[in-house]
Amino acid sequence: MTVDDLLKQPGAWLAAGKDTGTVVSSRLRLARNLKNRAFPGWAGEDECERIWKDLQPVLGQLRSMTPSFALSMGEIDLLDKQVLFERHLMSREQAEKGKGSGLVAAVDESMSIMVNEEDHMRLQVMRPGLDLDRTWKAIDAMDNEIEQHVSYAFSPRFGFLTACPSNVGTGMRASVMLHVPGLVLANEINPIVKGVSKIGLAVRGLWGEGTEAVGNMFQISNQISLGEKEETTIANLTQVVLEIVEHEKNARARMMERKEAMLCDHVGRAYGILAHAHILTSKEALDLLSGLRLGIDLGILKKMNRRVVDELLLVTQPAHLQKSEGKKLKAKDRDQARASLVREKLKEAEKGEPGSS
């Protein structure tokens, strides 16, 4: 399996056309480290390389993640790394690593393990929609299987030991990707972000820590991993997400009742610009595609295909775009290639005008 093979399939995090409503996807990650081995930040390249060589055969043959593929960060180019990042298979930080770091991932992209990012291992499982319980079962199984082969750095008092103290304990981060255009349009998102932050959860943008919320996508995740059982963390997060989903539903319903023209205008303009622009930045594309997603959810765009929108969310990203063009492109040229790709895909998808009411 190569990165080029990945490009032929839809990404796991977008659920590939499934109607997941407000919750795009659920994700869990566990930070795990090997006993008696220096953390990656201390280890130096040679030790990291040894750890990667030790772990790769183990992680590549997990029954809980079959079939899988492994990629060494020292052997793939930057563009391929960016593709893996854009598919949410690994972090931006891992994309900056070289020799000694690696990625093992399920061919269907639902599971992945970063080796020697901040910790020796970062296990991840993603599922479409709100499904943290099954996600937990899957990552717990993977975690248990790995532990049959290696010894984890573990303290009976603190729990799993990690490079950053903020992850000590369960080493778990549970996060849910929400698409909340209703709350954004109704100008109700800020109090919710503030409220969520107050109860110990973090709100982040599409690409995690330190990123801006584009495309009306927000990630909500736990901050605390110490002194709380995984099931409790997951139950709390699920509860909060369900409340936000309810708020989003209400905001949409209220606007459909009182401001239908405004919603139709928002969706119509998003479609009109995507279908006819010749220059589109990555951020604008995400924002406008959010408008199409909302239009589909609300039944305003009756003929629009959800799968096409999800595909566009993925393939309009900078690295995906350059892979599909077969060459490196400057930002300016990417914006033109992106607009051209979007025009083409929308035209293909529709055969005629969308059913704007």
Among 35, 258, 278, 302, binds a copy of itself (CB under 8 A): 278
> CB of 292 within 8 A of CB of 264?
no
Q: Both tokens of residue 117?
A: 């990012």
Q: Name the one range near a copy of itself by CB under 8 A: 178-186, 207-215, 274-282, 313-321.
A: 274-282
User: Token pair 């975690």 is at which residue?
Assistant: 143
Cα distances (Å, whole numbers) of residue 233 to 126, 157, 203, 230: 17, 19, 15, 5
Residue 194: CB atoms within 10 Å: 10
| Residue 303 interacts with a copy of itself (CB under 8 A): yes or no | no
Q: Name the one range near a copy of itself by CB under 8 A: 43-51, 74-82, 158-166, 270-278.
A: 270-278
Residue 239 to residue 245: CA distance in whole angstroms: 10
| Residue 286 interacts with a copy of itself (CB under 8 A): yes or no | no
Residue 184 to residue 220: CA distance in whole angstroms: 15
Q: Name the one range near a copy of itself by CB under 8 A: 148-156, 173-181, 208-216, 262-270.
A: 262-270
Give the nearer residue to a copy of itself in terms of CB position, either 242 or 261. 261
Among 153, 213, 277, 342, binds a copy of itself (CB under 8 A): 277
| Residue 273 interacts with a copy of itself (CB under 8 A): yes or no | yes
Give the nearer residue to a copy of itself in terms of CB position, either 137 or 302. 302
Residue 33 to residue 39: CA distance in whole angstroms: 7
Residues 6+ apart with CB under 8 A from 11: 87, 88, 109, 314
| Residue 342 interacts with a copy of itself (CB under 8 A): yes or no | no
Q: Name the one range near a copy of itself by CB under 8 A: 46-54, 76-84, 128-136, 266-274.
A: 266-274
Q: Both tokens of residue 79?
A: 């563009």
Among 149, 229, 254, 347, binds a copy of itself (CB under 8 A): 347
How many CA within 13 A on the CB side of residue 149?
14
| Residue 261 interacts with a copy of itself (CB under 8 A): yes or no | yes
Residues lying near a copy of itself in the complex (CB under 8 A): 261-262, 264-265, 268-269, 271-279, 336, 339, 343, 347, 353, 356
